[in-house]
């Protein structure tokens, strides 16, 4: 599955999302739960703000010196007998992995969850050459069995499916005969996947954070599938986005602590597994051969620009879990494997404005995302920057302002989405509303009003939203 998912037209994806009541209910309750957990974990820590500053400082320093740390990482991996391949494009990365798999004559690959391999469409590339790829994260497994339904959330990929749907998928595809109880469904998946782990020739993992000083990398999971994938197959391939790195183990601690709290409200997940090279010669389990593929795929073009901070992202999904727009349209509407606020910032950077210029408008600019981001990425400011650039670019290319507004037009054209996106706005703009039209607003609303006068959103919306948010409903 490449980065792009679903129908091409943004508006039809949005409407599809708005019409899917189950999905919206599921998203609402999941968001509620995840938000509460995150807030609790942050509270317990006491000085969450201090932690966020530390996270931001570490990410900043690492990005500014990324060439140095990646070089160090690669040398340390090689010292421990691992092979490193730097891949400029998705194609380069896929070709390298294919080549390793061919050499091993591997027929079956067990994979643990990884966003970057989704981004480069690795599974498609491997399946093309007749290799079976088994996703082993429970959510990803469900989606794969269901004819490759795309993920809708970066931490909980099958969020949009209910247990009855999952039962039916297992029944139709795998002959499952039990009920829709999550325990029974999970036990069934455990049994199915155990066989796959034992039979796989190659294990493929993503990478939450690589550690430059020792050539190590950490996998943060709850299910234990990443441990299986890095324990049983004889060959292991790990694919990482080039920005997923920290200088030393001391920073690994900080980033993992921020990630698990922000993502799921846990102090640590059940498993944090830090691997260095292949297994030692005297050890019996673990891979005999290890390959690390470091992927650029458009990331270096973001470095050195005003969007550099988007590369600080640690994929915790906290911004997605608080986003009122995501809440209404769901993950698939973004048309990208990266949904929500971070998706709206990152997807146009990686995939270009051509296909994704509507995404920066899929936001109310309420700033909730920026407030929860554990590494303090100014998400809503980045969205404003995108909007400015889109307008400028299109002006330059001579299409005139009407075309320049087309992204916005699509938003305003879908009145339900428009209402959603402006949900937070009345609270911010009331003093500036004249005759039920907003002329110039302060702060986050300004870029909207710069574009044209907007109808004033209805007042009770913010309160409604806030109330349901507080009760986690």
Partner 1 sequence: MQKGTIQNSDIFLDNIAKSLGRERKETVIRPTWHHQPQWDVLANYTQNQLVDVLEAQCKSIHTDLIRTCKENLNETLLKVIKNFHGKTVMTSDDSRFEMFGLKDHFNEYKQREDIDVHTWDKTDGDTSIRVAERADVGITFSDITLAESGTVVLFSDEGKGRSVSLLPATYIALIPQSTLVPRMSQATKEIHRQVENRERVSSCVNFISGPSNSADIEMNLVVGVHGPIKATYIVIEDQ
Is 34 a binding residue for ligand SF4 by CB under 6 A? The answer is no
Is 42 a binding residue for ligand SF4 by CB under 6 A? The answer is no
Nearer to ligand SF4, 73 or 319 (CB): 319
Shortest Å, Cβ 56 to ligand SF4: 10
Is 314 a binding residue for ligand SF4 by CB under 6 A? The answer is yes
In contact, 178 and 184? CB cutoff 8 Å: yes
Interactions with partner 1, residue window 5-44 (CB under 8 A) = 26, 29-30, 33-34
Q: Distance between CA atoms of 198 and 188, rounded to whole angstroms?
A: 16
Is 66 a binding residue for partner 1 by CB under 8 A? The answer is yes
Q: Distance between CA atoms of 158 and 219, rounded to whole angstroms?
A: 20
Is 168 a binding residue for partner 1 by CB under 8 A? The answer is no
Is 201 a binding residue for partner 1 by CB under 8 A? The answer is no
* Residue 315 binds which of ligand SF4, partner 1, none (CB < 5-8 A, kind-dependent): ligand SF4
* Residue 319 binds which of ligand SF4, partner 1, none (CB < 5-8 A, kind-dependent): ligand SF4
Q: Distance between CA atoms of 79 and 83, rounded to whole angstroms?
A: 9
Site string for ligand SF4, 258-277 (x = CB under 6 A): ----x---------------
Is 317 a binding residue for ligand SF4 by CB under 6 A? The answer is yes
In contact, 223 and 94? CB cutoff 8 Å: no
Q: Answer yes or no: is 207 a known binding residue.
A: no
Report the largest interatomic distance among the alpha carbons of the chain, rounded to a whole angstrom.
78
Q: Which residue has the tokens 């999952």?
A: 166
Residue from the set 4, 39, 84, 378 that interacts with partner 1 by CB under 8 A: 84
Site string for ligand SF4, 324-363 (x = CB under 6 A): ------------------x---------------------
In contact, 376 and 303? CB cutoff 8 Å: no
Is 212 a binding residue for ligand SF4 by CB under 6 A? The answer is no
* Residue 231 binds which of ligand SF4, partner 1, none (CB < 5-8 A, kind-dependent): partner 1
Is 190 a binding residue for partner 1 by CB under 8 A? The answer is yes
In contact, 308 and 243? CB cutoff 8 Å: no
In contact, 387 and 340? CB cutoff 8 Å: no
Q: Which helix (H) or strand (E) holds 203?
A: strand 202-205
Cβ neighbors of 212 (< 8 A, separation 6 or more) are 69, 70, 72, 73, 76, 245, 246, 247, 248
* Residue 375 binds which of ligand SF4, partner 1, none (CB < 5-8 A, kind-dependent): ligand SF4
Interactions with ligand SF4, residue window 104-143 (CB under 6 A) = none
Residue from the set 222, 406, 419, 449 that interacts with partner 1 by CB under 8 A: 222
Q: Check the CA dihedral 268-271-277-282 and report its sign.
A: positive
Query: Which two tokens mark 333?
Result: 């509407």
In contact, 220 and 316? CB cutoff 8 Å: no
Q: Distance between CA atoms of 277 and 322, rounded to whole angstroms?
A: 38
Residue from the set 97, 316, 390, 454 that interacts with ligand SF4 by CB under 6 A: 316
95 burial via Cβ count (<10 Å: 0-12, 13-18, 19+): middle
Residue from the set 118, 119, 135, 137 that interacts with partner 1 by CB under 8 A: 137
Residue from the set 204, 375, 411, 428 that interacts with ligand SF4 by CB under 6 A: 375
Annotated binding site for [4Fe-4S] cluster: 313, 316, 319, 323, 366, 369, 373
């Amino acid at each position: 599955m490449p980065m792009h998912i679903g129908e091409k037209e943004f508006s039809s994806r949005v409407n599809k999302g708005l019409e899917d009541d189950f999905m919206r209910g599921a998203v609402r309750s999941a968001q509620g739960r995840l938000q509460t957990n995150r807030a609790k974990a942050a509270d317990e820590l006491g000085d969450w703000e201090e932690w966020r500053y530390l996270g931001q400082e570490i990410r900043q320093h690492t990005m500014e010196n990324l060439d140095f740390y990646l070089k160090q990482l690669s040398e340390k991996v090689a010292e421990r007998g691992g092979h490193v391949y730097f891949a400029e494009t998705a194609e380069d990365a896929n070709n390298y992995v294919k080549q390793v798999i061919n050499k091993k004559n591997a027929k079956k690959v067990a994979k643990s969850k990884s966003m970057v391999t989704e981004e480069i469409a690795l599974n498609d590339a491997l399946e093309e050459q007749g290799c079976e790829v088994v996703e082993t994260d429970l959510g990803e497994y469900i989606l794969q069995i269901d004819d490759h339904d795309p993920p809708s959330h970066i931490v909980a990929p099958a969020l949009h499916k209910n247990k009855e749907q999952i039962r039916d998928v297992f029944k139709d595809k795998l002959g499952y005969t039990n009920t829709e109880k999550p325990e029974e469904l999970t036990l069934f998946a455990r049994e199915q996947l155990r066989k796959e782990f034992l039979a796989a020739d190659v294990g493929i993992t993503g990478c939450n954070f690589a550690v430059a000083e020792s050539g190590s990398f950490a996998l943060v999971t709850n299910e234990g599938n990443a441990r299986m994938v890095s324990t049983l197959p004889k060959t292991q391939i790990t694919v990482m986005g080039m920005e997923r790195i920290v200088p030393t183990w001391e920073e690994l601690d900080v980033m993992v602590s921020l990630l698990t709290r922000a993502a799921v409200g846990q102090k640590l997940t059940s498993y944090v597994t830090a691997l260095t090279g292949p297994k030692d010669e005297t050890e019996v389990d673990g891979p005999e051969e290890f390959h690390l593929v470091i992927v650029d795929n458009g990331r270096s073009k973001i470095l050195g620009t005003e969007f550099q901070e988007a590369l600080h992202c640690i994929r915790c999904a906290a911004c997605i879990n608080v986003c009122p727009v995501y809440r209404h349209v769901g993950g698939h509407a973004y048309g990208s494997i990266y949904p929500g606020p971070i998706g709206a910032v990152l997807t146009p950077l990686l995939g270009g404005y051509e296909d994704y210029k509507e995404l920066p408008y899929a936001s109310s600019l309420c700033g909730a995302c920026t407030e929860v981001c554990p590494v303090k990425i100014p998400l809503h400011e980045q969205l404003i920057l995108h909007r400015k650039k889109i307008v400028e670019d299109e002006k330059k290319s001579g299409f005139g302002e009407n075309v320049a507004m087309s992204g916005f037009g699509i938003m305003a054209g879908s009145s339900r989405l428009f209402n959603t996106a402006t949900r937070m706005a009345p609270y911010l703009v009331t003093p500036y509303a004249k005759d039920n039209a907003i002329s110039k607003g302060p702060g986050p609303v300004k870029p909207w009003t710069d574009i044209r006068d907007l109808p004033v959103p209805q007042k009770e919306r913010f309160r409604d939203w806030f109330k349901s948010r507080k009760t986690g409903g």
